[in-house]
Structure 1
Amino acid sequence: MTVSSQVQQALASLKGAQASFESFSLETQNQPAKQTYQNAAQQCQMLVDQIEARVQQIQQEEPQYKQQ
Protein backbone atom coordinates (compact mmCIF):
# COMPACT_ATOMS: atom_id res chain seq x y z
CA MET A 1 0.00 0.00 0.00
CA THR A 2 1.42 3.35 -1.04
CA VAL A 3 1.62 6.41 1.15
CA SER A 4 -0.95 8.06 -1.07
CA SER A 5 -3.46 5.26 -0.62
CA GLN A 6 -2.83 5.19 3.14
CA VAL A 7 -3.46 8.93 3.37
CA GLN A 8 -6.64 8.55 1.28
CA GLN A 9 -7.82 5.74 3.55
CA ALA A 10 -7.10 7.80 6.68
CA LEU A 11 -9.00 10.73 5.16
CA ALA A 12 -12.03 8.56 4.45
CA SER A 13 -11.98 7.21 8.01
CA LEU A 14 -11.73 10.70 9.44
CA LYS A 15 -14.68 11.89 7.35
CA GLY A 16 -16.67 8.93 8.68
CA ALA A 17 -15.80 9.85 12.26
CA GLN A 18 -16.82 13.44 11.61
CA ALA A 19 -20.18 12.33 10.23
CA SER A 20 -20.73 10.15 13.29
CA PHE A 21 -20.01 13.02 15.67
CA GLU A 22 -22.39 15.28 13.75
CA SER A 23 -25.07 12.61 13.90
CA PHE A 24 -24.55 12.06 17.63
CA SER A 25 -24.83 15.82 18.17
CA LEU A 26 -28.18 15.95 16.39
CA GLU A 27 -29.56 12.91 18.19
CA THR A 28 -28.74 13.81 21.80
CA GLN A 29 -30.78 16.09 24.05
CA ASN A 30 -27.95 16.37 26.58
CA GLN A 31 -26.45 19.82 25.99
CA PRO A 32 -22.94 19.11 27.33
CA ALA A 33 -22.77 15.96 25.20
CA LYS A 34 -24.11 17.87 22.18
CA GLN A 35 -21.37 20.47 22.62
CA THR A 36 -18.71 17.78 22.97
CA TYR A 37 -19.85 16.09 19.75
CA GLN A 38 -19.98 19.41 17.91
CA ASN A 39 -16.45 20.25 19.06
CA ALA A 40 -15.21 16.84 17.98
CA ALA A 41 -16.83 17.28 14.55
CA GLN A 42 -15.18 20.70 14.17
CA GLN A 43 -11.78 19.28 15.10
CA CYS A 44 -12.29 16.49 12.58
CA GLN A 45 -13.11 19.08 9.91
CA MET A 46 -9.88 20.95 10.62
CA LEU A 47 -7.95 17.71 10.23
CA VAL A 48 -9.84 16.83 7.04
CA ASP A 49 -8.88 20.22 5.57
CA GLN A 50 -5.21 19.69 6.45
CA ILE A 51 -5.11 16.15 5.10
CA GLU A 52 -6.91 17.14 1.89
CA ALA A 53 -4.22 19.77 1.35
CA ARG A 54 -1.60 17.07 1.84
CA VAL A 55 -3.38 14.80 -0.67
CA GLN A 56 -3.26 17.60 -3.24
CA GLN A 57 0.42 18.09 -2.54
CA ILE A 58 1.09 14.36 -3.01
CA GLN A 59 -0.84 14.37 -6.28
CA GLN A 60 1.13 17.35 -7.58
CA GLU A 61 4.45 15.80 -6.60
CA GLU A 62 3.54 12.32 -7.83
CA PRO A 63 1.00 12.56 -10.68
CA GLN A 64 0.67 8.75 -10.87
CA TYR A 65 -1.22 8.88 -7.56
CA LYS A 66 -3.91 11.20 -8.91
CA GLN A 67 -7.26 9.43 -8.80
CA GLN A 68 -9.18 9.18 -12.05
Structure 2
Amino acid sequence: MTTYSKVKQTLVSLEGAKATMEMYGQIAQDEQARKTFRRNAQRLDVVLERLEKRLQTLEFEEPQFKGF
Protein backbone atom coordinates (compact mmCIF):
# COMPACT_ATOMS: atom_id res chain seq x y z
CA MET A 1 0.00 0.00 0.00
CA THR A 2 1.41 3.36 -1.02
CA THR A 3 1.69 6.41 1.20
CA TYR A 4 -0.93 8.11 -0.94
CA SER A 5 -3.46 5.32 -0.43
CA LYS A 6 -2.79 5.24 3.32
CA VAL A 7 -3.36 8.99 3.63
CA LYS A 8 -6.49 8.74 1.46
CA GLN A 9 -7.83 5.86 3.57
CA THR A 10 -7.15 7.80 6.77
CA LEU A 11 -8.94 10.84 5.33
CA VAL A 12 -12.03 8.80 4.46
CA SER A 13 -12.06 7.13 7.88
CA LEU A 14 -11.81 10.46 9.69
CA GLU A 15 -14.59 11.93 7.56
CA GLY A 16 -16.77 9.05 8.73
CA ALA A 17 -15.77 9.64 12.34
CA LYS A 18 -16.60 13.34 11.99
CA ALA A 19 -20.03 12.54 10.56
CA THR A 20 -20.68 10.16 13.45
CA MET A 21 -19.66 12.77 16.03
CA GLU A 22 -21.91 15.36 14.40
CA MET A 23 -24.82 12.90 14.49
CA TYR A 24 -24.19 12.09 18.16
CA GLY A 25 -23.96 15.81 18.82
CA GLN A 26 -27.49 16.19 17.53
CA ILE A 27 -29.08 13.26 19.34
CA ALA A 28 -27.26 13.30 22.68
CA GLN A 29 -29.52 13.95 25.65
CA ASP A 30 -26.88 15.58 27.83
CA GLU A 31 -25.87 19.13 26.85
CA GLN A 32 -22.26 18.55 27.92
CA ALA A 33 -22.09 15.48 25.67
CA ARG A 34 -23.50 17.50 22.75
CA LYS A 35 -20.85 20.18 23.22
CA THR A 36 -18.10 17.58 23.45
CA PHE A 37 -19.17 15.82 20.24
CA ARG A 38 -19.49 19.10 18.37
CA ARG A 39 -16.14 20.39 19.63
CA ASN A 40 -14.38 17.20 18.59
CA ALA A 41 -16.04 17.30 15.17
CA GLN A 42 -14.65 20.82 14.74
CA ARG A 43 -11.21 19.62 15.77
CA LEU A 44 -11.41 16.92 13.13
CA ASP A 45 -12.08 19.64 10.55
CA VAL A 46 -8.57 20.98 11.15
CA VAL A 47 -7.05 17.52 10.75
CA LEU A 48 -9.08 16.87 7.60
CA GLU A 49 -7.93 20.13 6.04
CA ARG A 50 -4.31 19.21 6.69
CA LEU A 51 -4.75 15.74 5.23
CA GLU A 52 -6.43 17.18 2.14
CA LYS A 53 -3.48 19.54 1.65
CA ARG A 54 -1.13 16.60 2.07
CA LEU A 55 -3.03 14.66 -0.60
CA GLN A 56 -2.75 17.63 -2.96
CA THR A 57 0.99 17.70 -2.36
CA LEU A 58 1.26 13.98 -3.04
CA GLU A 59 -0.77 14.37 -6.24
CA PHE A 60 1.51 17.19 -7.36
CA GLU A 61 4.64 15.18 -6.62
CA GLU A 62 3.24 11.95 -8.07
CA PRO A 63 0.81 12.80 -10.89
CA GLN A 64 -0.20 9.16 -11.36
CA PHE A 65 -2.26 9.40 -8.16
CA LYS A 66 -4.33 12.37 -9.33
CA GLY A 67 -8.01 11.50 -9.37
CA PHE A 68 -7.86 8.38 -7.19
Normalising by the residue count of structure 2, what TM-score does the alignment of the two structures yield? 0.95
Q: Which residue of 2 aligns with 1:5?
A: 5
Q: Report Cα offsets for 1:22-47 as digits up to 9, x if no partner.
A: 00000012110000000110011110
* Gap runs ≥5 in structure 1: none
Give the aligned CA root-mean-square deviation in angstroms: 0.8
Q: Percent identity?
A: 37
Q: Which residue of 2 aligns with 1:28?
A: 28
How many residues get paired? 68
* Gap runs ≥5 in structure 2: none
Deviation at 1:65, TM superposition (A): 1.0
Structure 1 segments, 4+ long, off by >4 Å, are: none
Normalising by the residue count of structure 1, what TM-score does the alignment of the two structures yield? 0.95
